[in-house]
């Protein structure tokens, strides 16, 4: 199933060509209809083109922009089917298995797509077939054909050999040998062809005949469940959109309930009439199947968006998809059941993550490391998976060994007069303030991960010190004291309560 | 209806139904105060920290002492429920991250603590208001450094109402700030206190806590120590005993007596 787009014709009669620099020569990359009528061909040198038609208008080809445009068009084609793949430089492959009935059949769907592209100003060649190679060949050389199911070979047989996309040399060789159509090539035995042209050529032939398939991979992850709604009149108002999302959430959750699943990652896609697509994602901490909660989360997300959802001339299609789904066992609620605290916390996490961003809503997870700044790391709450590790229980009747506040990056301090080898400094200067140490405890030696051969950090000797005002600090000396070694550096790592 | 209520009154299982049948009971749910553990402070406070209202903890500098004090208060008030700590990005960079192992060393289970990093002060307030509507939380600590304009009387009033709504205690932690008018139930100013001279051990965290505003009582200033094992505040053990044992009564006439009274000496 394939579409091919080209460049539309200019309104006036001047031939327009796109030029591209190809190994020190400028060649004609693309033509418009006027240029084609004038006898120019793609691939000819620009100088020759100028010789044929003097008043040709030359525009520099912008390949990255073409590729970006192809991405935008592929996004827009998401409205037809979620399975869209790029076929560079100018093509798209859309797998319409199972969705063509939504558009009134294959013929109606192909016509609708080509008309939509024409309205946008694109020249579109399209065809439908059972395999991607057959569809590509038909689109290029027999625009608008729809191959019947299983009938690819017969449909592609009359196409010229160039439709096989073998490269200039091989195609020329086949035509010279008298095999002018794909059907003629198919009549030869495979062994002959393989001996002369190689295995790859035979595979391409078989793909064009619909006998062999090459899987295509979609651009975007295919959602597990999706519900969509088309509007005859494009919608602009926020309330309407919110209602639509609630309705879609209801249908989506009905389907998920039948399968016993709940959504972990939901995506709402808004398709504008002028082609732009806007997607908004909502993540949840636990599998969710409540339509009201889903609608509320999307409402919060849309309100909190930095750049508001711009409807332009209106949205004509809104789709709600559960990109990731998980098994969800329904809970039976008793008459006297107390409200579930865990569920309420999960709702709170989802709500705050939807409003402020899922990277801001954190919880603490124990890590399998003894490096202090990595030990009690806060991770995003919605991505936290269950871990087997437990928090280290504090030693009873011991004062706190770790500070309540720790700097992610220890700060360098100036230290004066630390007695070697294990002494705490009597004075230190941190953030331009000098502190006199009244009381100190330590050292507590924490070796960094010595098994890492790369980026090996030296051991740290940690001290708990208290200054004259009663503030308590956690600082360390990096590296062991060694006689004759350069002065070791000291760092401030944390503050005790 | 009354007989029905009396029948089900006995059964605890139908407490929820009872609440359903009596939505407007008229009694304002007066939640009991939770003792801090420091005898003098609890005496001045109405028995302890009142849950379901707003408390403020101030500090003149970025001290971690105020941080620890607020964590201690929150730990007292939350019971078995979780605690949400809302911090600004700025605080994390300037003052340091809240360390999970540090919380564990203070006796607070880190798996019961949720953290929200907000971009700025208005976001902190928005998040706090949102979180106070979740009854599954025990306490919400909102950390806002400095005196931003957004944190005015109206904002604190909104926080108080939010706290009263579902009974979640709100604690406003304000490092590097000076006290302002607010609708808080209590206001504390925390300073660090030097450990006693004679104390050999490192000692528990000790705060110089000044209760500068108390809606239902007087103010006061105490040295409060945090006991990480039991999770309560206490009087520092090394405070000099006030009772010196029996002393002889001061004489009525003698040199000491003359100093006490401002008598005019005649002659």
Q: Does B111 touch chain A (CB under 8 A)?
A: yes
The residue-averaged pLDDT of A281-298 equals 90
Q: In what order do the strands lie in the sheet with A2-6?
A: A84-87, A91-94, A2-6, A123-127
Can you tell me the distance from the alpha carbon of B138 to that of B77, in angstroms, rounded to the nearest whole number?
A: 7
Can you tell me the distance from the alpha carbon of B76 to that of A133, in angstroms, rounded to the nearest whole number?
A: 70
Taking only the tens place, the pLDDT of each residue in A111-167 is: 988 888 888 878 888 888 888 888 888 888 888 888 887 788 888 888 888 888 888
Closest approach of chain B CAs to the CA of A252, in angstroms? 27
Taking only the tens place, the pLDDT of each residue in A187-199 is: 888 888 888 888 8
Q: Does B118 touch chain A (CB under 8 A)?
A: yes
If pLDDT is split at 50, 70 and 90, which confidence band does B19 have?
very low
Taking only the tens place, the pLDDT of each residue in B59-99 is: 988 778 999 999 999 999 988 899 999 999 988 888 888 98
Residue A37 is predicted with a pLDDT of: 81
The residue-averaged pLDDT of A371-384 equals 81
Phi, psi of B69, deg, nearest 5? -65, -45
- The two three-digit tokens of residue A50, written as one number: 């100028």
The residue-averaged pLDDT of B244-266 equals 48
Q: Which whole-number Å values give the CA distances from A396 to A399, A414, B105, B200, B229, in the listed order?
A: 8, 34, 10, 18, 6
Query: CB distance B115–A363 less than 8 Å?
Result: yes
Residue B173 is predicted with a pLDDT of: 93
Q: Where in chain A is the domain with CATH 3.30.1490.100?
A: 225-341
Chain B residues near residue A466 by CB distance under 8 angstroms: 194-195
- The two three-digit tokens of residue A353, written as one number: 């993550």
If pLDDT is split at 50, 70 and 90, which confidence band does B139 have?
very high
Taking only the tens place, the pLDDT of each residue in A461-485 is: 899 998 888 889 999 888 776 766 7
Query: CB distance B97–A407 less than 8 Å?
Result: yes
Query: CB distance B116–A470 less than 8 Å?
Result: no
Alpha helix (H) ranges present in chain B?
A: 2-9, 15-21, 39-44, 64-78, 89-95, 100-105, 121-131, 153-166, 255-260
Q: What pTM did the predictor assign? A: 0.73
- How buried is B109 (Cβ within 10 angstroms: 0-12 exposed, 13-18 middle, 19+ buried)? middle
Closest approach of chain A CAs to the CA of B249, in angstroms? 39
Can you tell me the distance from the alpha carbon of A246 to that of A94, in angstroms, rounded to the nearest whole number?
A: 29
Can you tell me the distance from the alpha carbon of A408 to that of A136, in angstroms, rounded to the nearest whole number?
A: 55
Closest approach of chain A CAs to the CA of B237, in angstroms? 14
DSSP string, A438-459: EEEEEEEEE---TT--TTPPPP
Q: Going by CATH, does the domain composed of A225-341 fall within 3.40.50.10580?
A: no
pLDDT at A13 over 80: no
Contact A352, B131 (CB under 8 A): yes
- The two three-digit tokens of residue B112, written as one number: 């019961």
Complex ipTM: 0.76
Instruction: Name the CA radius of gyration of chain B, rounded.
Output: 23
Query: CB distance B134–A345 less than 8 Å?
Result: yes
Residue A318 is predicted with a pLDDT of: 92
Query: CB distance B109–A391 less than 8 Å?
Result: yes
User: For all residues of chain A together, what is the average pLDDT?
Assistant: 84
Question: How many CB pairs below 8 A link A and B?
Answer: 191
Closest CA to B104 of A441, A474, A401: A401
- The two three-digit tokens of residue A206, written as one number: 């078989």
Residue B245 is predicted with a pLDDT of: 45
Can you tell me the distance from the alpha carbon of B150 to that of A258, in angstroms, rounded to the nearest whole number?
A: 49
pLDDT at A206 over 90: no
The residue-averaged pLDDT of A397-405 equals 85
If pLDDT is split at 50, 70 and 90, which confidence band does A237 have?
confident
Q: Does B40 touch chain A (CB under 8 A)?
A: no
pLDDT at A368 over 70: yes
Chain B residues near residue A381 by CB distance under 8 angstroms: 114
Closest CA to B105 of B135, B75, B142: B75
Residue A141 is predicted with a pLDDT of: 85
Q: Which whole-number Å values give the CA distances from A316 to A76, A312, A436, A457, in the listed order?
A: 12, 11, 70, 58
């Amino acid at each position: 199933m394939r579409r091919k787009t080209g460049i539309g014709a200019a309104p006036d009669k001047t031939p327009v060509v796109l030029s591209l620099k190809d190994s020190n020569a400028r060649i004609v990359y693309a033509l418009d209809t006027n240029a084609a009528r004038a006898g120019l061909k793609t691939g000819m040198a620009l100088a020759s083109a100028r010789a044929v038609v003097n008043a040709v208008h030359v525009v520099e080809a912008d390949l990255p922009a073409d590729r970006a445009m192809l991405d935008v068009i592929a996004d827009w084609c998401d409205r037809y089917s979620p399975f869209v793949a790029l076929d560079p430089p100018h093509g798209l492959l859309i797998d319409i298995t199972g969705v063509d009935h939504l558009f009134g059949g294959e013929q109606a769907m192909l016509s609708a797509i080509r008309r939509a592209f024409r309205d946008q100003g694109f020249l579109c060649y399209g065809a439908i077939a059972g395999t991607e190679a057959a569809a590509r060949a038909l689109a290029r050389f027999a625009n608008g054909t729809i191959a019947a199911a299983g009938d690819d070979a017969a449909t592609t047989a009359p196409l010229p050999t160039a439709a096989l996309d073998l490269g200039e040399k091989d195609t020329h060789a086949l035509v010279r040998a008298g095999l002018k159509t794909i059907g003629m090539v198919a009549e030869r035995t495979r062994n002959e062809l393989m001996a002369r042209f190689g295995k790859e050529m035979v595979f391409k032939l078989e793909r064009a005949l619909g006998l062999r398939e090459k899987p295509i991979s979609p651009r975007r992850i295919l959602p597990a469940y999706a519900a969509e709604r088309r509007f005859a009149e494009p919608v602009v108002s926020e309330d309407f959109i919110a209602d639509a999302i609630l309705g879609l959430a209801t249908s989506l959750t009905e389907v998920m309930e039948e399968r016993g699943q709940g959504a972990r990652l939901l995506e709402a896609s808004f398709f504008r009439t002028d082609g732009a697509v806007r997607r908004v994602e909502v993540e949840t901490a636990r599998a969710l199947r409540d339509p009201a909660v889903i609608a509320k989360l999307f409402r919060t997300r849309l309100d909190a968006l930095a750049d508001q959802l711009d409807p332009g001339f209106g949205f004509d299609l809104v789709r709600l998809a559960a990109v990731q789904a998980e098994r969800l066992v329904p809970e039976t609620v008793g008459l006297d059941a107390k409200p579930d605290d865990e569920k309420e916390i999960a709702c709170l996490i989802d709500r705050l993550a939807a409003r402020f961003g899922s990277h801001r809503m954190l919880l603490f997870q124990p890590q399998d490391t003894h490096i202090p700044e990595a030990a009690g790391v806060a991770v995003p709450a919605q991505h936290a998976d269950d871990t087997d590790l437990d928090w280290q229980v504090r030693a009873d009747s011991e004062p706190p060994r770790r500070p309540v506040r720790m700097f992610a990056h220890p700060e360098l301090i100036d230290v004066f007069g630390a007695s070697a080898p294990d002494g705490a400094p009597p004075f230190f200067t941190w953030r331009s303030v000098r502190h006199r140490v009244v009381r100190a405890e330590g050292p507590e030696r924490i070796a960094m991960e010595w098994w890492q051969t790369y980026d090996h950090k030296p051991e740290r000797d940690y001290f708990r010190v208290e200054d004259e005002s009663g503030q308590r600090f956690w600082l360390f000396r990096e590296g062991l004291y060694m006689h004759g070694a350069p002065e070791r550096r000291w760092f401030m790592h944390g503050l005790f309560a | 209806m009354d007989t029905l209520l009396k029948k089900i009154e006995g059964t605890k299982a139908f407490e929820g139904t009872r609440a359903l049948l009596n939505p407007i009971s008229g009694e304002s749910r007066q939640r009991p105060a939770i003792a801090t553990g420091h005898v003098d402070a609890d005496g001045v406070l109405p028995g302890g920290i009142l849950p379901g209202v707003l408390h403020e903890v101030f500090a003149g500098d970025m001290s971690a002492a105020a941080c620890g004090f607020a964590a201690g208060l929150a730990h007292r008030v939350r019971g078995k429920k979780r605690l949400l700590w809302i911090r600004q990005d700025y605080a994390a960079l300037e003052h340091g991250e809240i360390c999970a192992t540090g919380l564990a060393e203070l006796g607070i289970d880190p798996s019961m603590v949720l953290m929200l990093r907000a971009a700025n002060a208005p976001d902190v307030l928005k998040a706090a208001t949102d979180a106070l509507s979740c009854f599954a939380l025990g306490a919400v600590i909102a950390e806002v450094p400095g005196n931003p304009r957004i944190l005015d009387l109206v904002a604190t009033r909104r926080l108080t109402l939010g706290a009263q709504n579902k009974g979640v205690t709100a604690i406003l932690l304000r490092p590097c700030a000076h006290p302002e008018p607010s609708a808080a139930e209590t206001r504390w100013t925390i300073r660090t206190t030097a450990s006693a001279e004679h104390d050999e051990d490192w000692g528990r965290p000790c705060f110089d806590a000044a209760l500068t505003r108390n809606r239902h009582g007087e103010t006061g200033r105490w040295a409060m120590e945090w006991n990480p094992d039991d999770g309560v505040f206490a009087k520092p053990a090394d405070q000099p005993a006030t009772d010196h044992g029996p002393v002889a009564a001061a004489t009525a006439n003698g040199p000491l007596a003359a100093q006490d009274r401002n008598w005019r000496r005649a002659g």
